[in-house]
Structure 1
Amino acid sequence: MIVVTGGAGFIGANIIKQLNICGRDDILVVDDLKDGHKFTNLVDYEIRDYCDQAEFLQAIQSDLLYLPFGSGVGQLKVENIEAIIHQGACSVTTEWDGQYMMNNNYQYSKTLLHFCIRHKIPFIYASSAATYGNNTTFIEERQYERPVNVYGYSKFLFDQYVRKQLPKVQSQIVGLKYFNVYGPHEMHKGSMASVAFHHYKQFKQHKTVKLFGAYDGFKPGEQLRDFVYVEDAAKVNLWFLDHPQISGIFNCGTGKAEPFNNIANSILDYYGEGEIQYIEFPEHLKGHYQSYTEANLDQLREIGCDVHFKNVKTGVTEYMNWLEKHNI
């Protein structure tokens, strides 16, 4: 069985979709459905069962995986867990409750990590490009990492913790530094949904999309990010699942930065109408905002990962097709 934490979330749901495509439905989803709207992310996919995050955490701490499933699975034996793909986290970059962030992102991840190490279970987890902060070199090394918000720090600190474990363990540990991911199943994220989703909603309402004006030496809408389509990010997870002999921390992006204007123009081109409106850069984001990100993919390619990443035009067009099909 494959365990996907955060399985009802954005990237988690897309990983489940890719697992289904590969013929796998022996999946245990672990999540927190206090926000019940997230169930819609799983409706189209096949899973074996669901477990609340708190119950799962309690179970792995005791190493006796008795989970109160209604489907009769009952005890989930440790030896039946093929891998844990850990996507569960608070991804709100504007959240400044450090105690909550560190408990949810750092301590929880450490507990899962040590469970996997004890039982030699492959562990693939979500890191973030937020660990780089305002650096302009994006290589998976400590010298380039300086997060500018507590979310980025929680991910950075866990990466550092993992680096200390890697030389000592005999099972797979993989961290993926996600860059700017966009695509299906992000609707529940609210303000943290991608620019592509916000532009889609703005266009539908006003035939206008809004972008930040000039800031940090960039012209209006020309701040650069590495935008990665979520399907591609999910495929990278599955590539590592198929290569359990490979461990490490790797960037997960396209390797090519594109301006925010490319997102907006791709949507306007898709519909054949509309305009861009530039707004003043918000004061509260100044000093806590990445104006440029671009994944260095050298290490990912050196290990043989051959997942192809869509450019913005291709990915956004596919995303618009999905949004229209689902009438969102």
Structure 2
Amino acid sequence: MIIVTGGAGFIGSNLIHELNAIGKRNILVVDNLAPAPHLSGPKFLNLQGAQYDDYMDKLDFLEAVTEGDFDETEIAAIFHQGACSNTLEDDGRYMMHNNFDYSKALMHFAVEHEIPFIYASTAATYGRSTVFKEFPENERPLNVYGYSKLVFDNYLRHRMDDIDSTVVGLRYFSVYGPREQHKGRMSSVIHHFSKQLRDTGTIRMFEGSGGYADGEQRRDFVFVKDLCRMNLHFAGMLPDSPKRSVQAVVNAGTGHARTFKDVAAALMSIQGEGKIEYIPFPGDLKNRYQHYTEADIASLRAAGYHSAFTSLEDGIRATFKEEPLA
């Protein structure tokens, strides 16, 4: 069995489709399908066409794990993609229960049973930093989401010397691709710009902010299928996967920042020409927005992942090929 938490979400559902592509069907999907005010649509649509054996609600799954219901189950890997990823969520108690306590319980179960445990961390752990290298002096989150992920990263770091099985935290940078239509405001810049261009013919991007000129804000945009491959790699499911266990917290980005204007140009090359309108920077994002990110991927390479990354232009083309109405 393979377990994917957050399996109906953006990255989790893409991961399930990629598991299917390499012949894996014995999958348990774990998620929470309750409505949420920050979502713009149902997540279950992401699983259309996917093949998996079973589904469990996230709370039922955690209860089953803690009560020992999975102790005798042969589990090939746990991909822990489930989390509250709403960067505007200010309920710290909820965030820590959801992102920290839940992750701790799953990690201890995986380590006890020597199950590869690959989990989603985030570039939000760096926050106000302009150096994106996995060192404590660079980790200054701007929101409680980034804080909750950093606390769990540190929880793992403090225990790495006592862990024999694979436990890898992947700090996702600005992920884009198919199956993010349900995320509402938390969707990628690419998804928002695409919808604006399609619906109005105009892409609305922020005026200059954070020391960057109009449309010159920069992000490390990473194609979701590249992240899926990274997950499968560290779980031991690909021909070039490591032959020994890995314990690490590493950046999961391309190592190359691109501007918002670059995104607009790539979209217009596919959707047709349009206009760009610059809008004031939203007040509710002040002091909690990363105007620039660029992953230092030296630790990722040192951990054994050497695959090339999909370019922004190729990733956008691939997204539209799979999801023409993105």
**Class of the TM-score when normalised by the shorter of the 2 chains:** over 0.9
TM-score of the aligned structures, taking structure 1 as reference length: 0.93
RMSD of equivalent CA atoms? 1.3
Please state whether the residue corresponding to 1:185 is helix, strand or coil: coil
| Number of aligned residue pairs | 315
List per-residue Cα deviations over 1:132-152 (Å, max 9, x = no partner): 011111111212101010000
Please state how far the C-alpha of 1:313 moved relative to its aligned partner.
1.4
List per-residue Cα deviations over 1:69-110 (Å, max 9, x = no partner): xxxxxxxx5341111110000000011111111111111101
Q: Does 1:174 align with 2:168?
A: yes
User: Counterparts in 2 of 1:156-171, with a 5 A limit?
Assistant: 156-171=150-165
> What code does the residue aligned with 1:14 have?
N
Q: Does 1:305 align with 2:309?
A: no
- Distance, in Å, in 1 between the alignment partners of 2:247 and 2:210 is 36
Cross-structure match for 2:184: 190
User: Counterparts in 2 of 1:1-328, with a 5 A limit?
Assistant: 1-35=1-35, 37-65=42-70, 78-242=72-236, 243=242, 245-324=245-324, 327=325
Contact 1:268-1:275 at 8 Å conserved across structures: no
Please state how far the C-alpha of 1:43 moved relative to its aligned partner.
1.2
Please state whether the residue corresponding to 1:217 is helix, strand or coil: coil
List per-residue Cα deviations over 1:148-184 (Å, max 9, x = no partner): 1000000000001010111111111100000000011
More helix by share: 1
Runs of 4+ in 1 over 3 A off after TM superposition: none
- Distance, in Å, in 1 between the alignment partners of 2:72 and 2:9 is 24
Contact 1:116-1:122 at 8 Å conserved across structures: yes
Please state whether the residue corresponding to 1:181 is helix, strand or coil: strand
> What code does the residue aligned with 1:285 have?
L
Cross-structure match for 1:69: none
List per-residue Cα deviations over 1:120-142 (Å, max 9, x = no partner): 21111000000001111111121
- Distance, in Å, in 2 between the alignment partners of 1:288 and 1:190 is 18
- Distance, in Å, in 2 between the alignment partners of 1:101 and 1:187 is 23
- Distance, in Å, in 1 between the alignment partners of 2:275 and 2:303 is 43
Which stretch shows the higher mean deviation, 272-281 or 86-95? 272-281
- Distance, in Å, in 1 between the alignment partners of 2:316 and 2:263 is 7
Q: Percent identity?
A: 48
- Distance, in Å, in 2 between the alignment partners of 1:305 and 1:3 is 22
- Distance, in Å, in 1 between the alignment partners of 2:80 and 2:313 is 29
Contact 2:198-2:271 at 8 Å conserved across structures: no
> What code does the residue aligned with 2:88 have?
T
List per-residue Cα deviations over 1:203-235 (Å, max 9, x = no partner): 111011110011111000101110001011111
> What code does the residue aligned with 1:22 have?
I
